[in-house]
Amino acid sequence: MRSKEEAEPADDKPVVTFGALAIEPLDSIEDGFKNPKHWAQWRSTLKAHAKPLLEVPIADVSTEQIVAVLEPI
C-alpha cells in the first residue's frame, strides 16, 4: 500500500495570489495613466481596499470575500 505522499505527488507550481493578478499588471500599463501620481493612486487604493485578499490564492477567492471588500467603498 502506498503512502499518501506517493499517491499524491507534491504540486511544484507557484501559488498565484489575488494580489499578483490585481496589482502586478498595473506595472505593465503604467504608460496608460495620465501621470505617475494617477498610477500610484490606483495602486495605493487597490492595496488599501483589497488588503484582506492580497495574499489569498486566486483559486480560493470567494464571491463573499469580494463583496466584503467592495461594500465599504
- Whichever domain contains 53, its CATH number is 1.10.150.130
Query: Is the pLDDT score of 43 beyond 90?
Result: no
Query: Is the pLDDT score of 9 beyond 60?
Result: no
Grid cell in block for residue 31: 504608460
Across 25-35, average pLDDT: 82
| Residue environment code for 14-45, b if the CB has 16+ CB neighbours within 10 A, otherwise e | eeebbbeebbeeeeeeeeeeeeeeebeeebee
Higher pLDDT, 30 or 8: 30
Q: Is residue 8 part of a domain?
A: no
Domain that holds residue 61: 16-66
Q: Is residue 52 part of a domain?
A: yes
Residue type, 12: D
DSSP state of 32: G
Q: Is residue 47 part of a domain?
A: yes
Query: What is the count of structural domains for the chain?
Result: 1
Query: CB count, 10 Å around CB of 50?
Result: 18
Put simply, whether the predicted model's pTM sits higher than 0.85 gets the answer: no
Q: Is residue 72 part of a domain?
A: no
Q: What is the mean pLDDT of the chain?
A: 83
Q: What is the pLDDT of residue 5?
A: 44
Across 6-15, average pLDDT: 64
